[in-house]
């Protein structure tokens, strides 16, 4: 399975325009498009239109795409050079802009390489416990990602006591989804949930932005997502994830800023305003 089919992204006769039906398979428990899937969809559109792989991509989340709606994607490539294309993918529901993904894409044969981040020493996936998935998450994108805790606390162990700001988990997507920039975008969006670890209480994190930087893509069944929460102040959190293959190869990094609330089922299930009636909160 590739990312395009995982997302349900549909081409149109125009190679610069795509459609994404917002089904429960790409939605959050709050019944709107999951931010990681939105970034992943923008990446697929940009890579297909440019014919080049992603170097970095960043999504700014302007509003919500409710479950049951259809997102229309438009790709613009304002600059294309010998090695790099600069582009953006604009997502709309009706006439309302929901998400903007800006990106640089390209590749060269420059022979010098290096990685200066090391994968943390954690147990392999087979020795890690599978994270419990609350019943509230049923029939959402969160049940499509297998998630095994390598460092940090299970949801059930969050008892109000502060803990380390660094946590890590192994993730894989169904059907052994190929490793791609879009795959990393889906996994990297888990940074928003990791704010719970240092404060010891379950939180609801809604991304304001999401930036993915791609290092080197290699085949791997599992991806280690090593998350570092940097700060939480005035209701906003900031953090970063380092994404590694099982052999220790750095695949990329993901960082974001997050609007944070304490978790309650009522808040988690609250449907956001319809596009055009209010921004993200």
Domain ranges in the chain are: 3-106+123-269
pLDDT at residue 267 in the model: 52
CA dihedral 176, 177, 180, 186 (to 10 degrees): -110
Q: Please state the rounded mean pLDDT for residues 207-232.
A: 96
Distance CA 154, CA 208 (A): 25
Share of the chain above pLDDT 90, in %: 78
- 231 contacts 255 by C-beta, under 8 angstroms: no
Helix 35-50 and helix 181-188: axis angle, to 10°? 160
86 vs 275: which has the higher pLDDT: 86
Q: Please state the rounded mean pLDDT for residues 141-163.
A: 90
94 three-class SS:
coil
pLDDT at residue 276 in the model: 54
Distance CA 226, CA 228 (A): 7
pLDDT at residue 133 in the model: 74
pLDDT at residue 60 in the model: 96
Tell me: the pLDDT tens digits for 94-138?
999 999 999 999 999 898 999 999 999 999 999 999 987 777 777
pLDDT at residue 168 in the model: 97
Does position 29 have pLDDT exceeding 90, yes or no?
no
pLDDT at residue 266 in the model: 53
Q: Please state the rounded mean pLDDT for residues 27-52.
A: 96
Tell me: the pLDDT tens digits for 154-168?
888 889 999 999 999
Tell me: the pLDDT tens digits for 221-271?
999 999 999 999 999 999 999 999 999 999 999 999 999 999 875 555 555
Tell me the whole-structure pTM to 2 decimals: 0.92
130 vs 272: which has the higher pLDDT: 130
Distance CA 22, CA 130 (A): 27
pLDDT at residue 200 in the model: 95
Distance CA 138, CA 143 (A): 6
Q: Can you name the CATH fold of 3-106+123-269? A: Porin (2.40.160)
């Amino acid at each position: 399975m590739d990312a395009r089919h995982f997302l349900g992204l549909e081409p149109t006769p125009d190679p610069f325009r795509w459609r994404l039906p917002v089904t429960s398979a790409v939605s959050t428990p709050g019944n709107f498009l999951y931010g990681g899937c939105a970034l992943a969809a923008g990446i697929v559109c940009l890579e297909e239109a440019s014919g080049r792989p992603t170097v970095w991509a960043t999504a700014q989340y302007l509003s919500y795409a409710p479950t049951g709606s259809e997102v229309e994607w438009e790709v613009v490539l304002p600059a294309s050079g010998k090695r790099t294309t600069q582009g953006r993918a604009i997502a709309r529901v009706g006439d309302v802009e929901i998400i903007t993904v800006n990106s640089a894409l390209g590749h060269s044969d420059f022979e010098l390489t290096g990685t200066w981040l090391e994968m943390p020493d954690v147990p392999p996936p087979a020795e890690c416990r599978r994270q419990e998935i609350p019943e509230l998450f049923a029939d959402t994108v969160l049940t499509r990602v297998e998630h095994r805790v390598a460092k940090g606390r299970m949801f059930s162990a969050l008892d109000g006591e502060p803990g380390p700001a660094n946590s890590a988990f192994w993730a894989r997507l169904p059907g052994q989804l190929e490793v791609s920039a879009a795959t990393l975008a889906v996994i990297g969006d888990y940074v928003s949930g990791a704010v719970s670890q240092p404060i010891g209480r379950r939180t609801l994190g809604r991304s304001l932005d999401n930036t993915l930087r791609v290092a080197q893509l290699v085949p791997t069944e599992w991806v280690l997502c090593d998350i570092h929460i940097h700060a939480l102040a005035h209701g906003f959190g900031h953090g970063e994830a380092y994404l590694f293959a099982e052999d220790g190869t750095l695949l990329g990094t993901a960082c974001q800023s997050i609007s944070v609330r304490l978790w309650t089922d009522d808040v988690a299930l609250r449907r956001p305003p319809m596009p055009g009636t209010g921004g993200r909160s």
